[in-house]
Every structure is written in structure tokens, then in C-alpha cells.
Structure 1
Amino acid sequence: MNRRRALGATVVAVLVAVAGAGCTEGQPPGATNLVDPGSPAPQPNPTPILPPAPLSGKPVAETVASRQAVVVPVRVTARTTPVGLAEADLVYQEFAESESLHLTAVYQSQDAARVGPVAEIRPVDIRTVGVLHPFIGYTGGPTGFLDQLAAAGLPGATPARRKAAFPSGQASTAALRQAAPTGGVAPTPVFDHADSGTPLASQGVTPASRLTVAAPGHPTQTWTYDAASSTWRGKIGKTTVSTASVVVLTTEYRTLNVRKPSPRSLPGAKVYGSGTAVVVSGPSSVSATWRKPGQRLVCNVIDPGGYQVRLQPGTAWVIYAPETARVNVA
């Protein structure tokens, strides 16, 4: 009996244990039921982080951020209706002869189907945009100015050489971009741009809603802050333009004597050097200083604390104001 009975008892014990495991008795405290989770739910792709455009500070596609800038000089009088300025990342303004303005419009993050009226090349264009490595669309110019352009190594095209880039006598930035030699590089950033909530300057910031620039021999230029669009608005010729920031650089003006193809004299802003500045961006203003040592160096605009001013992303309008001009912020 002994061995057989012992073996039988063992088998019965095993069967009882197995049967007990299949019963629906309550689980001990702390135990959990395991459930097959199935396939994991797809996770949404994170929003891609777009790089900032080098000149406007606004987010753009990588292919746009890395492309070359295009520059078009524009001549404006009180009777002119300029076009294409809204798409510019930067516009530099020189007070020219006969109450006119000479604008240097720079396009990188956006293209403009029409820009004009296109003007001749002038020293202010060459000395301002040399640091940007652009392709320039212009109408020609005095012999001496063309020599300066060639010496600066800045490529460009005129209607006489690239008619397709100037439809209806006005420049197309996309067509100029196609006419540019291969290998063009993105421009060097010329301003710091503010993140959300970042002040215009480290110190000396004051509220601002109106800026006036009165240059002798020219109508007073008035810029007004529009809170609804967070832009500054001014009248250029017969066109109202909107810009994120206006930067006024006070500088010396000299008389440029042109001999070829026809003798004439015209004013020219001294772009290199240093001086005082007034900056408005968003609902704020600050008095600053500027310094640009040479053609291929950036013009730094420094706040009273010794730091770069930080503009709101968007178009910046830079005015070369003569030392005799009156600049007021309200």
C-alpha cells in the first residue's frame, strides 16, 4: 500500500491544486488583472521648428532661410506710387535731391512680383548692402558709381542686360533671383530680434506712438503706431507702408559730384562711422547709438546698457537722417 498509496495521494494533491487554480476566487490584495494593451496609439508628430529668416526674424522654410537676398533701389517723390515695398525685409532710406527719397529695398524671406520705380545704383546702396552678399537689380548709374559697384564685387542686372527680370519696367524679385549666378549665400543678420515678451532694450525704453523725421528741404515724415496690427505706418510717396520697426540713424551727408554721363551734384549719406540713433519697435522707443566700421561689417545699433537693440520680427525701415534733421518721438 505504502508506495502506491503515497503516489496516489500525490496525484490527487496535484489535481486539486490545478483545479483550484481555475476557480474564480477573489485575488489577493494588491493583485491586478493583466489586459493586452494592443497596438500603441500613434503619437502626433511635434510641430516642426522653422528657422528664422536672417533679415526679418520671422519663421520660414529652411530653403527660404538659406537663399540669397535680392536688392532693388527705388526712387520716390511726393507724386510717386511705389510698389513692392510691403514684401521687403529691410528698406534703407536716403534723403536725395529735389525732395526725393532713394530707397534700398532688400528681399529675402518674401518675393515681390513688382518693385518700382527702379532707380540707378548709388554709393549708399553699395555701402549699405555689401555685408548682405545680394544680387542687385538697378537701372544703371553714373560711371563712377558703376565702378564702385564693380570694385565691391556685387553682382547685378539692369533692364538692358536682363529684360525678363524687369517686366513692365519694374523689377521682379523672383526673376532677379533666377538671373543671379549660382552659389549665392544667405545674408548676414543685421539686427537682433525679440522673442515674445522681450523688451526693445535693456534700459531706457519708453512708450511710443508717433515718430517724426524733419529733414531740411523735405516734407516732414510721420510714422504712427497702429496697435491693431502692431506696426508702424508712414506715407512714402503716395503709398502707405507698414513696418514692424523704424530705425533712425543720424549721419553726415556729403555732396557727390557726378561728371559722367552728365554733370550734376547730389547728396549722399555717409554710411560708415558712428552716431546717434532712435529706434521704435512695437509700442516702444529707445535712444541708441550706431556704429558701422566698413562695407562688409554690420551696422550695430546699441542701447544705453551696451546691448544690441532687439526689434520685433518683421520689416525694418532704416532712415539715414542728416545731422540737421529733427527727430522726435511722442
Structure 2
Amino acid sequence: MRLRRALAASAAGVLIATLGAACSEPPPPGASDLVDPGTPAPKPTPTPSLPAGPLSGQPLTQPAVAGRQAIAVPIRVSESGTPAGLDAADLVYQEFAESGSLHLSAVYQSRDATKIGPVAEVRPVDIRSVGVLHPWLGYAGGPTGFVNQLAAANLSGVTPAQRSAAFPSGYTSTTALRAAAPKGGTAPAPLFDYATTGTPLATRDVTAAGKLTVSASGHPTQTWTYDQATQQWSGRVGKTTVKASAVVVLTMEYRTLTVRKPSVRSLPSANVYGKGKALVVSGPSSAKAEWSKPGQKLVCNVTDLAGYQIRPQPGTTWVIYAPTTARVAVT
């Protein structure tokens, strides 16, 4: 009896050992080990993508801003002037005006500015530059012929004579101008294809750049330098330091306009319709380019020498209308 139990126990031990050995053998080819995954990790909620400002290319924290009308303000800057509100602009167009001064057309859409100015009279360059954007203008009147051109271009705005409270001490703000604008204005269409991470400024002839100079007769040389820390180009307008993500220099003819009302005077005027050479700096790069703008209702296309759109970095774009006699250099 004891011998039978011993034999049974011995047989059971052999069987368990055999099964254990079998369990420890590697699985046959093609087999896979099944492991209990436990509780699955929750899937992350995707971050909703923010719309970009049509004139800045930068993400907007308030999506509704993407659909609002642009505001445009002409600004006159002397050599000793201190203009305000330029760093908040999405676009700034610069014309070399009389007596060493600059005439700027500042456009605001994605951001607001509490103080803009000094507000200047409207000029043909304002109408030709911003007309395609369908903005609401804040301007300080102007010669009769220029005001008539503004109306003929189907552009509207407000002046100190119409709403003095919106122009304290010759300055204004985006809040004041939007309060004066009628409802129903349309958002502008993008002017540039903005660069994304790793996108080059142009498809060819891109060179490293850290300094840009523009020298126009009768004006101090304008110098822009690249700041690697902020990834911005910095320049001076009057006595104010301004920054831009891109500076676009368009070379074009200037002509002299004779104004008769309300007083006789002669004014230089950039001929922004046509085509010509361009130079663009954005990020630590520069590229030669060409520009073309057939008329007011058409966008000014800036393309590289292979015919592809220039792609500046998102942010403020500063467009300089350089006379054909100006010296433009980049290093």
C-alpha cells in the first residue's frame, strides 16, 4: 500500500516536472506571447489648431479676430519724429516723402494698438497699397484730389473733422477707429504664403543675412539688423526703434505730383503699379526677388527668381518702396 502511494507520488512528480519543462520551452516560430494589457491609457485630447491672422500668419488666441476688417492709418514721420503703434501693425508700407520724411501706411488686423500716429493725410500710395485689403481708414483729410481718389476706390474712413474724439492730440487707436466703422466690413485675404518650420525663404539664391541698408537721396540711410535672440529685424524710423519679421524692399519709379488744393505744393509719389526687382530679408536669410502689381484690386506678388512665392516668417512685414536710384545692400 505504501509502495503504491510512493509510486503514484513519484509518477505525479515526473508529470509535473515534464509539464514544467514543456512550459519553459521557447514558442514555435510565428507564435506570440499574449500579455494582459491591463487598463488602456486614455487617448490625449487633440489640441485644436488656432486660425492664423490673414496678414500676419501668426496663430490667433481669439479665433473671431480672423474675420474682422483691417484698419489702415497713414503716418508721417520726420527724422526727429517718434511714431507710435507700429510694432502692433501686421503690415507697414513705407514711401520716401518730401523733406527727408517718410509716409507710412500701417495696417492692423490681428492685433490692436492703443496709440497710433501721428495720423497723416491720405496720399495715393495709401490707396494703391491697401485698397486690395478693403480696410477702414483713419486719416487726417488730405488734398481734394487725393480724397476724391479715395472715394473712387470705394474706400471709406473717418477723419478728425468727422470725429475729433477718435484722434486725441493727432493720434488714434484701433479701438476708436473700429467704434467709428460701420458694421459689415470684410476680412482681408492673405498677401503672403508664410513660412512654416523648416521652410526656406525662397527656392533658390537664399543667402545668410544680418544687415540690410537702404539709402535714398535726401534721406538718412535706413539700417535694419537681425537679432538672433528675438528672430526679428530691427530698424529705426525717426527716433523710434521698430521690429519686423520680414523686410521687403520693392524697387520702383517715383514721380512728382503737383497738388493745387487746398495749397500748391509738390510731392514725391511711388508708382506701386507695375513690376520690378525686389530684395527680401526674413529670419537670418535674404533672397533676390521680383514684384508685380498690375492694379489696385490685385495683390502685389513677390516671387523668387524661380517664379515661386516668397515665404516670409509670420509676424509684421515691412514693405519699403525704394526709388530706382536708391542703394540697397545686404550683408
Post-superposition offset of 1:42: 6.0
One-letter code of the match for 1:212?
Answer: T
- Given residue 162 of structure 1, which amino acid in structure 2 is its aligned partner? R
What does the per-residue CA deviation read over 1:101-122, in whole Å, with 9 as the maximum and x for residues that have no partner?
A: 0000000000100001100000
Task: Summarize deviations over 1:137-178 as a string: whole Å, max 9, x none.
Answer: 000000000000010111100011122322333111111112
Instruction: Give deviations 1:80-128, integer Å, cap 9, x for gaps.
Output: 0111001000000000000000000000000100001100000000011
Is structure 2 residue 269 aligned with structure 1 residue 268?
yes
- 1:292 corresponds in structure 2 to 293
Cα displacement string for residues 216-261 of structure 1 (whole angstroms, at most 9, x for unaligned residues): 0111100011111001110100001110000000000000000000
Q: Which amino acid aligns with 1:82?
A: P
User: Where does the alignment leave 5 or more consecutive residues of structure 1 unmatched?
Assistant: 1-28
> In terms of mean alpha carbon deviation, does 186-195 or 96-105 score higher?
186-195
Whole-Å separation in 2 of the counterparts to 1:182 and 1:243: 31
Deviation at 1:48, TM superposition (A): 1.4
The residue number in structure 1 matching 2:30 is none
How far residue 46 of structure 1 moved from its aligned partner, in angstroms, is: 1.8
Give the corresponding residue for 1:55.
55
Instruction: Give the TM-score normalised by structure 2.
Output: 0.87
- Kindly provide the amino acid, as one letter, of the partner of residue 185 in structure 2: G
- Find the residue that maps to 2:98 and give its secondary structure: coil
4+ residue runs over 2 A deviation = 29-35, 40-45
Query: Is 1:282–2:286 an aligned residue pair?
Result: no
Residues 22-64 of structure 1 show CA distances to partners (whole Å, capped at 9, x for unaligned) of xxxxxxx9999998x6xx8765432110111100000113211
Report deviation, 1:181.
1.1
> Residue 208 of structure 2 corresponds to which residue in structure 1?
207
| Cα distance in structure 2, aligned partners of 1:293 and 1:252 | 14
The answer to whether 1:121 aligns with 2:122 is yes
Q: Which residue of 2 aligns with 1:227?
A: 228
Structure 1 vs Structure 2 CA RMSD: 1.8
**Letter of the 2:163 counterpart:** R
Q: Residue 282 of structure 1 aligns to which amino acid in structure 2?
A: G
> What is the identity, as a one-letter code, of the residue corresponding to 2:176?
A
- Identical amino acids, percent of aligned pairs: 67
Counterpart CA distance in 2 for 1:190 and 1:31 is 57
Amino acid at match of 2:301: N
Aligned pair in 2 of structure 1 residues 31, 192: CA closer, same or farther (>3 Å)?
A: closer
Measure how far apart 1:191 and its partner are: 1.2
TM-score, length-scaled by structure 1:
0.87
Task: State the AA in 2 paired with 1:53.
Answer: G
Which whole-Å CA distance do the structure 2 matches of 1:278 and 1:32 have between them? Answer: 62
Structure 2 letter corresponding to 1:164: A
Q: 5+ residue gaps in structure 2?
A: 1-22, 24-32
Task: Write out aligned runs for 1:189-204 (5 A).
Answer: 189-204=190-205
Partners in 2 of 1:31 and 1:104 — Cα distance? 69
Q: Number of aligned pairs?
A: 300
Aligned equivalent of 2:45: 45
Alignment partners' CA distance in 1, 2:187 and 2:143: 29
Instruction: State how 1:83-102 maps to structure 2 within 5 Å.
Output: 83-102=84-103
SS at match of 1:192: coil
